[in-house]
Amino acid sequence: MPSWSQQSVRDFPVNGLLPKEETQSAAFVRAHPEYDGRGVTIAILDTGVDPGAPGLEVTSDGRPKVIELIDCTGSGDVPCTTVVEATSDENGKTTVTGLSGRKLTLGKWNNPTGKYRLGVKKSAELFPKGLVDRLEKERKRKFEVEHHQLVTQAQKEASEFDKANPSPNEEQQLVKADHKARFETLRDLWKSYEDPGILIDCVVFHDGTKWRAAIDINESGDLTNAQLLTNFADERQFVRFGDDSMLNFSVNIHDEGETLSIVTVAGSHGTHVAAIAAANYPDDPRLNGVAPGAQIVSLKIGDTRLGSMETGSGLVRAAIELVRLKIDVANISYGEAAANPNYGRFIELLRDEVVNKSGCVVLSSAGNAGPALSTVGAPGGTSSGVIGVGAYVTRGMMDAEYALLESVTERPYTWSSRGPTLDGDVGVDIFAPGAAITSVPQYTIQNSQLMNGTSMSSPNCCGCVALLISGLKAEQIPYNPYRIKAAIVNTGKDISDPMNVPFIQVENAWQHLSEFRDGRTNFDVHYEVTLPEKYKYRGIYLRDLDETSELQTIQVHAQPVFPNALAPSQNALKLEMEARLALVPTQRWISAPDYLHLNNGGRGFNVQVDPSNLPPGLHFGEIVAYETARKSGGPLFKVPVTVCKPQPVDLNSRDCYVKWDGVRFEPGAIERRFISVPAGANFAELIVRSENRQAPARFIVHMMQLQPQTRYVKFEKEYAFSLTSPGSGDRSEASTYQKTFPVLPNVTLEVCLAQFWSSPGTTSVSIELKFHGILCSVSGSTSGGLGASSGTGGDLVYLNSGNHGFARVDVATPLRKEEVAPTVSLDTLRRFIRPTDSQMSPLKSRDVLPDSRQLHQLVLTYSVKITEAGAGVNVTPRVPRFNEVLYDASVESFVLIVFDANKRSVSYQDIYPKAVKLADGTYTIKVQIQAASVDILDKMTSAPLVLDVALAKPLNLTAYKSIGDIATGAAGDDAKFKKKILRRGDRAVFWIGGELSGAQPKDAKQGDLLVGKMEVVGGGKKVEGCLYPVAWIVPPPEANKEESEGTGPKEPPKDDTVLLKEATRDLEISWLKKMAKEENKTALLKRLESEYADHLPLYQAKLDSLAEKAEKAEKADGRVSRELAKEIIDTADKILSLVDLKELAVYLGTKHDLVTGGEKEKNRKKEMDRQKEAIIAAYGWNGRALKATIENAEVGKSAAATLAPAPTADMALFDSTLSELAKWIADPPTTDGKYLLLWAWQQRRRGLHATALKALNKFVGEVKNVGAEGEVWKKAVDMKREVLAEIGWEVWSRYEERWRVVKAPKEYAPF
């Protein structure tokens, strides 16, 4: 290569991989090498931190980097309540049987008590989703190799049999069919293959000093050389699950060994965050995190079961740990939208206990929901005491991380969330670099990764704060969270942010802290600024047309809040506190008093905001409070004032629209327009056209309307798209983007358009917004009503309130000419279910709040039956009171789990309801609510569950022109209201009613809802979302004609004496089930048999009693005694003798008119149904008893003899019994689980294992059988596994053994 080419290659800009120069943190460490985070502990509340990741081994001064690993979520919890003592096997090794069923060989461990606690855990609850997917693919490839060997062997055996038997006889035909069944079963098994994951056996014991755990990481069962683990903080041990996963884990043991917590990461996010804050690379310090000398505590709040979503329980436990461990600085790169800023149980814990009392500095990401205003999330952008951090991109980051074709202007990232909060606070406190390429967990099989977001800016800022605290501790300078916040905010770099949010500068902040190092200052106090007359808002926020058009006089109250305010030690400081303040408005349209004297009692003052002469758009100012004696330190507090003045729409214009031409953009540029949505509007069209693009540019349009106590996401619309232009200059050829979406009338709409920060070049666009209104008022009265619904996707509109069966819809078009085309489609059954059980109990040691209050849990249990599901139906369970509230929740936690009939968890859910696909069957839904207040929980013990069940096919309702058309059931097009053009100001009426287009769901009960939508917009327009969600109340059921008296003959009345005798008999028969003492039951049965020798229900009850005994015997001893089997056979034969089988068969084979047949025919039908039920039970139990008789006769014989027995009379009787049973059950009979178990046993004895296996596999694989068949399904699963072993397919037998534990756990999974 030519030398000139080598010289032109520049060094890689390594410093830009994890930016530190821009924040002055690198310069600070160069100036103060020992203030690099030493002596500071940083808590990372995230997905967990991998202690084996690059850069996270040691600090810059050689101490362990990660000193605590705690799973706060419970996703790694393993219940270890099963206590056993070990035994010695034939080789003298110490063993126990693990809960997976595997034999576990223990090591030579010191265990003075000799007792071991056992647990088992599924890898899917521990491994991150991406890793689970990777391992499943790898295991499937390995499994397929073994499966293919079985297929090859089956082909070989079939071919050899065909060659040996070219003309097979009847018996050989069965064997040939069995060979064919092998192919078919192997094919079906492979089609249904689903990786069961790893089943991890756990053994916990006390070694005399501390609790220890051994984990069977490779499913070998050999724990002789397993590393014995204890709480990570004690010995800092961590282990890898294997080289295939590369996933490291540690443990903590709680509650005297009852709970083992296996701590893994839920994703790569937390490790990346930790590395930004504090990674240390001794061999290449350029890669260091911001504070390489700091130590890390990992508090996992991302629940692996939820794909790393946080839960209230995880957050509260993390807050408890922050206080317990006396953390210096905490980073929370998590957050959600909140309806109520600065409110909620976790927010209170964070503010009052963690920040104020414990003195921990808490930083949190502001969110990635920009660029529209008021998109900051909780806790980072909404909570007092928490430093909210926005994301900024610098030139160095662009060069090192993004590989851009050309550099663009430094600025906040386009997607970084913006303030103000809904209550007027500025929201974002500081900006920091919002991306890095740094360390990630080893399971990702890469050393580093690029991530960007406020999740990255927050730990960068957190590392900067750690540097400051490191210096403060070293120089013994007093500090608290408020002094540090004041220092970084008051000394940040001005980046021309519209809301004056600065960019962090460490050296400047250090200078501020050093200047005020002596003693207490007024920067040590938090100043709570509120508007008493406006819901205690923390700032002035004006958005709507009226309030931005006239002078506003607003009362403001400033209240000093001392750290640990209730402690007696603070009283002297409160007494001394006095500040003489100058109040300085930063804008001419804001007026405030010149001075304010403030002490611990707080002060109120009035301010005036006059937005009347401001042009439409965003206007921001502040009232800045300086302490006159220390002006150089910056303000003590600020009163933020935000005015989003909307542009009114000219309602005199027939077009009712606004338009902006020639709006110019450069990379990262944001243009905001605020429009006062007209009173009659409920949807709008947005049209964006490019005018000068040659290459595509990425744009984001973000539209927002705000409502009090409502999450901003409720009325948010955000779209990303590309704009370009052919360059011809022809406007019709311009690149156009268009959307139609719902709007709220009378509420200001922000239209925020941004060219993405990394899209180069300038762009000129035009923006057009057209407003439409089709307003509907729905009434159950023929005369209409006063109520009106604008139609914005809000609450449900009831179409048949009072079950009238019709709805009158008055429609108006107040803004422009519209085409109205109503359709109603109902696609969801909404059921309301009360709990069947509620249990309240205290939680354990991890759930004691810092103020010593014990958290309690309320567990609500709901039973849900699903029918008509076919291959599966989407079901969404909800408890609306707790849905979509997390950080602002009034309770500590809410979790919901859906279990199938075998206690298998099929869906683990948080505050966001999710659809789960369920088949027919009975399901148990458990809800856990946590709170410190028992009184609060006590009020929730009957909270209803809302269950949304998707219909297989939507049901439609018809719109009619008049109510008369509904009454007459007119079917012609002339009667239907299909579409109509309404001019501006016109009104019309249509009627919804008539019959539903399909059958009402069987699960629908009176008072349930059929939910869907009413579309009214015609003309080819498609409104994104739903203008009118509607509900049809399920009416009372119609009278069943078959249950009415009918017209036929009635049964002759019976004498009272006869009726009394029959009633007494039936009562005595019913008591056979209830009697506890066997001798009393025997005596009663003997007497009843003598008195009612031919009474069928008596012998059915007797058979039921014997069957119960047989079931218990099978569970206890594995078999039924000869005596009990004979008694069952005799009783079954008696039942069969009492039924005329021929007459019953004839009856069931013909149709019967129950209406004209009257009472007599109905009674006959009931009797015939009873007889059919009786003979099916009789044949079934006859077969089971004969099977037991045959097995009892073979006790002591070899396994080979029992698998290939000689024919016997009992076996012949069994065969004929099974043949008779098949005649009375559904075809094919193997779909009946009880028959299948007998038939499969028969085939196995004939040597036709594959034939039996094929039917068992089909039955077990049908999801509906899991719930419908219950214990029978479990027995079929066990038999399937046995047959797989008998046939020699060990790979599939092991597969089924794993699934056995997963599909049918002994206990419900813990929360």
Q: How far apart (Å, rounded) are the C-alpha atoms in residues 719 and 1074?
A: 66
Beta-ladder partners of 591: 608
Q: Are the CB atoms for 380 and 454 separated by under 8 Å?
A: yes
**How far is Cα 597 from Cα 579, in angstroms, rounded to an integer?**
6
Cα separation, 1027 vs 421, in Å, equals 27
Set 206, 269, 272, 702: catalytic member = 269
Q: Is 557 a catalytic residue?
A: no
φ, ψ dihedrals at 241, nearest 5°: -65, -25
Distance CA 334, CA 319 (A): 14
Non-local CB neighbours of 768 within 8 Å, separated by 6+ positions: 657, 658, 659, 660, 685, 686, 687, 688, 689
DSSP-derived letter for residue 102 is -
The span from the CA of 675 to the CA of 742, in Å, is 14
Check if the beta carbon of residue 557 is closer than 8 Å to that of residue 602. yes
CA-CA distance, 481 to 503, in Å (whole number)?
18
Q: Is 333 a catalytic residue?
A: no
Strands 806-813 and 697-704: unpaired
* Cβ atoms 766, 695 nearer than 8 A: no
DSSP letter at 401 equals: I
Residue 659 tokens read as 């338009």
Phi, psi of 31, rounded to the nearest 5 degrees:
-75, -30
Partners of 579 in the β-ladder: 598
The one-letter amino acid at 1050: K
Tell me, what amino acid is at 1095? H
The encoded tokens of residue 911 equal: 């505050």
Angle, CA 1074 vertex, CA 1068 and CA 1078 arms, to 5°: 95
| Residue closest to 238 by CA, chosen among 522, 48, 448 | 48
| Mode of pairing for the β-strands spanning 818-833 and 1009-1017 | antiparallel
For the chain, the C-alpha Rg in angstroms (whole number) is: 37
Q: Which of 60, 268, 439, 455 is catalytic?
A: 455
Spell out the residues 6+ positions from residue 457 whose beta carbon is closer than 8 angstroms to its own: 365, 366, 389, 390, 391, 392, 416, 431, 432, 433, 434
d(CA 400, CA 646): 41
Question: For residue 1072, what are the contacts with CB-CB under 8 A and spacing of at least 6?
Answer: 1081, 1084, 1085, 1101, 1102, 1105
Q: Find, among 683, 739, 756, the residue nearest to 715 by Cα.
A: 683
d(CA 1251, CA 231): 52
Distance CA 1237, CA 943 (A): 42
As a whole number of angstroms, the distance between CA 221 and CA 95 comes to: 9
Tokens of 743: 């709007």
Local structure of 881: helix, strand or coil: coil
Q: How far apart are CA 1198 and CA 96, in angstroms?
A: 28
Q: Is the C-alpha dihedral spanning 227, 228, 230, 234 positive or negative?
A: negative
Work out whether the CA dihedral 969, 971, 973, 974 comes out positive or negative: negative
End-to-end alpha carbon distance in the chain: 64
Question: Is residue 1215 flagged as an active site residue?
Answer: no
Give the bridge partners for 332, in sequence order. Answer: 45, 364
| Catalytic one of 46, 201, 429, 1008 | 46
3-state secondary structure of 471: helix
What does DSSP say about strands 386-393 and 361-365: parallel, antiparallel, or unpaired?
Answer: parallel
Cβ atoms of 379 and 347 within 8 Å: the answer is yes
Strand partners, 848: 854
Residues serving a catalytic function are 46, 269, 455
